[in-house]
Amino acid sequence: MKNLSLILNGILAVAVIYLYILHFSGESPVETEDAATVSSSGGVPKIAYVNSDTLLEYYDFFQDKRTELEGKAQKLQSDYETRAKGLQSEITSFQRNAGSMTMNQARAIEEDLMKKQQNLAQYQQNLSSELMQEEAKVNEELYEKVAEYLEEYGEEENFKVVLTYTKNSGVLYADDSLDITRVVVDRLNERYQERNAVKTSSESAPADTTASDN
């Protein structure tokens, strides 16, 4: 689950050196009057930031997916432990009764148990791979949802750069006036709930079985 909490660090652009120049030099690094990169007020692009930790904490989509993944992980872990206990029981029984077996019988059972151990180890690897794939799928979906909305919101508000601001992001200071986290979270949640409502309505709608009268 730790990878999920870090995904937004790959979503939002980080321009630390650029911010440093703007904040401490007081000079605009833009020498041309390109309207696509310069604001109308002072020649400085509009910049905002999103606190990714806060976004992940309050974004309903992420919380729902995290709950689903944790539930699936617990279920798979329980299944694995049940199989492991069953195998351990067989091993214990073999060790207890090995003295009364012929050499060929003991060797055959021992080989069978070793094969089961290998199968159990492979099963554990398969479970880990399955969970990693599920996590990667959630990461990709999270990326798409946040990036898609920030592109729209950036165009609406004329933002040229949106940063991610967390403890390990490299941004040492950011004024609260640049923080758009709350707005982004609220609107992402609105969009998520609206889509869920449409999906639920579509799934619960009865099929049209009305037949035409002859």
In a domain, 160, yes or no: yes
pLDDT > 70: percent of the chain: 74
Render pLDDT for 3-20 as a digit per residue (tens, 0 to 9): 544 444 443 433 332 333
pTM score over 0.75: no
- The number of folded domains in the chain is 1
Contact partners, residue 161, CB within 8 Å, separation at least 6 = 13, 15, 18, 45, 46, 47, 48
The stretch 142-147 carries a mean pLDDT of 93
In a domain, 208, yes or no: no
How far is it, in rounded angstroms, from Cα 120 to Cα 125? 9
Tell me the backbone φ, ψ of residue 162, rounded to 5 degrees.
-125, 120
Contact partners, residue 55, CB within 8 Å, separation at least 6 = 8, 62, 146, 181, 184, 185, 188
How far is it, in rounded angstroms, from Cα 83 to Cα 117? 10
pLDDT at 170: 81
In a domain, 210, yes or no: no
In a domain, 143, yes or no: yes
Render pLDDT for 74-110 as a digit per residue (tens, 0 to 9): 999 999 999 999 999 999 999 999 899 999 999 999 9
The stretch 137-142 carries a mean pLDDT of 94
pLDDT at 152 over 80: yes
In a domain, 59, yes or no: yes
Between 38 and 191, the more confident residue is: 191
In a domain, 156, yes or no: yes
In a domain, 32, yes or no: yes
In a domain, 209, yes or no: no
- What is the chain's Cα-based Rg? 28
Domain residue limits at 158:
2-202
Nearest to 174 by CA among 34, 35, 12: 12
